[in-house]
Every structure is written in C-alpha cells, then in structure tokens.
Amino acid sequence: MFKSFLRAMSVAMLIVGTVIGAGFASGKEVVTFFGAVPNVFTALITGVLVFGCSVLFLFVGRRVQKTDIGEVNGAVFGKLRPLADIFMLFNSMTVLGAMLAGSDSLAAEFLDIRPLTSIVLGLLCAVIAVKGMSGVIKANAVLVPIMIITLCVCSISAIEFPFRPQSGSIDAYSIVLYVSMNMILGGSVLTTVHKLSPREILLAAAVAALVIAALLMCIMGALQSCSAAHADMPMLLVALKNGRVMYFICLPVIAASIFTTMLSAFKSVYDYVLGFFKHKILAAGAVLVGGLTVGAFGFSNVVGTLYPIIGGVGLLYIACNCWFLIRTRVKRKVKTKAKKIKSAVKRQRRKAV
C-alpha cells in the first residue's frame, strides 16, 4: 500500500515538475495568458482541467503500454502518426528552447554569460535523459517539493492583506489554451508511464491538480499586489519586494523549475531523435543544438509567441487522445460480448449433442 502511494506521488511530482517550468515559476505564463492582473479564481478551473488531462494521458499510457512517445502516437493516431510526431517534436523543442533561454535570463541577473548557463544545464539534461525515465522521475521527486514550498512562501509573503481578489472576467478560452499548452508536454511524458493502477492514476492526477491550482492562486495573488507584469520574470520582482533574502532564495527555485521542465522536454525530443542516430551521445548532442537554436530567440519571445500556438494545436491532440480511449473501450466491450456469445453457443451445442 505504501509503495503504491509513493509511486502515485512520484508521478504527481512528475506532472507538477513538467508544468512548473520557467514560464510558470517566473509568472511570465500567467501574464501572457491571463493579463497583468489575473482573476485568482481562474486557478480553480485550471486545476480541474489539469486533473482531467493528467487522467487522460495516464490512462492512454496504461492502455497502449509503450515506452516511446512515437509508438504511443502510432497507436493513437494510426496513419496520421507523422503529423502527431511533428507537432509533439515542435512542442518539446519549443519548450526546451524556452527553458534554455530562461536559464540564461536567470543567470543574467548576476552575470550575462549566455549561452554558457544553458549549455551546462543542457549537458546535465543529456546525461539524465540517456539514463532513461527513472532518472527524470527521481529528479522531479527531489526538486519539486522544494519548489512548491518556496514559491508558496514567496507569493503569500508578497500578498497585501486583507487581500481583495480582482473581480475581472474569467476568460474560458485563455484557461483552456493555457492548460492545453502546459499539458501537451506532460502528455509526451505521461503516456509513456504505464505501471500505475487506476486508483494510483486518480490519486496522482488529483494531487498534481491541487498543487498546481494552489500555486497559481498564490502567484496570481502576488501579481495583483505588485506591479511586476512588465518584467521578463515577474516573480523575481515579487521576491525582491520581500527583501534580498527572499530574492536569493527564489532564484535557485526558479532555476530548479527551469531544470525539471527542461528535463522532460529534453527526454521527449531525445526519444524521437534516437531513432535516427546509432549512438545515444550523438542523439543527445543533436537535441541540445536544436534547443539552443530555439532558445537564441529569447525567453520572452518564445513564451509570448510560440506557447499560445502550441496551446491551440494541442486542443486537437488532446481531443484525439480522448477519442482513442473511447474507441478502444468500445472495441474491448464488443470483443468481450462476442466471446461470451461464442461461449454460450458452444455450451448449447454440447448440450444438444
């Protein structure tokens, strides 16, 4: 029972670690999708949708029983697999580039040595990705709890009390687009996790959704209390409001959030590229070069321009995964019914004889 709980919590941290990248932890995603003064209640709706998408992708992984996202796409999309592969590759490479650019932007707070920071972190991702999925899960299990606690403390301490949440309108389209964009990368990783039971899947998805919703509410509340939306990384200005100590605590946490999402994106692209290279090192090197090329456009440009596009196309990808589960469920029921009918016919024939 305890091992089952730990397994579910590890996957929950994997989901959270995938979502909480540089864009999320820095507050830039929130500003891009929800504006400078977001309505905090959008976080609750976001949490519900994150739960739904997490359950969807984990059940798809359980159904197809594949360890490679390309094989998963083959099972889900059939002849349309090449289109799905291109989209997922574009998505993962965009996120990887954004995280690499984000690491350079973060390092530039002290010393502008770009692209040295992104190269070092990229090399570390390459080493972990080559070792397999277990390394990705272990890295998230260690780093994500620290990130959650620090981001909550930083955000809550910046909120002005008594807190009066903004009563602005809730943009349903922006919420759906935001969740779609974040969960597509998660989907490329979660669909290759297939050892969870249905109960473990629901627990992992519920914990991840609660954590993400709570963090979003804290970040949105902090942004409402501070005028930080114009910054490349708004949460750094929020942290600075609480003093230099909180600022220097927040820096490594955002760095950790960059790394966890970078790791998931790197692993996703690496799985694709590995099919074209004989050696793992060459495949990892090709992924790093591609990520650095995308990251050269800058953190704000990648997040502000490409993330909404990914969210829009991602809605179709999510819909196709839903249809796959429904279609395969119906097929299983039909096969089970056919077997029962055959067995009944055989029994009747034996009795007749």
Provide the residue-wise pLDDT of the chain in tens; the chain has 353 residues.
Answer: 778 888 888 888 888 877 877 678 888 888 888 887 777 788 999 999 999 999 999 999 999 988 778 888 888 998 899 999 899 889 889 989 988 998 888 888 788 888 888 999 899 888 887 776 666 667 777 788 888 888 888 888 888 776 666 656 788 888 998 999 888 878 887 888 878 888 999 999 999 999 999 999 888 888 877 777 777 788 888 888 878 888 888 888 888 888 878 887 888 888 888 878 878 888 989 999 999 999 988 888 888 888 888 889 999 999 999 999 999 988 888 777 777 777 777 777 777 65
Task: Give domain limits for the chain.
Answer: 2-352
What is the four-CA torsion angle of 141, 152, 172, 35, rounded to 10 degrees?
Answer: -120
Identify the pLDDT of residue 135: 65
Distance between CA atoms of 24 and 27, rounded to whole angstroms?
Answer: 5
The DSSP secondary-structure symbol of 79 reads G
Q: What's the CATH class of domain 2-352?
A: mainly alpha
What is the four-CA torsion angle of 201, 204, 207, 211, rounded to 10 degrees?
Answer: -120
Distance between CA atoms of 141 and 67, rounded to whole angstroms?
Answer: 20
Identify the pLDDT of residue 49: 95
Helix, strand, coil % in the chain, rounded to nearest 5: 85, 0, 15
Is the bond into 252 cis (omega within 30 degrees of 0)? Answer: no
- Give the N- to C-terminal CA distance of the chain in Å, as an integer: 51
User: Which of 210, 200, 241, 209 has its CA nearest to residue 223?
Assistant: 241
Identify the pLDDT of residue 162: 67
Identity of the amino acid at 153: V
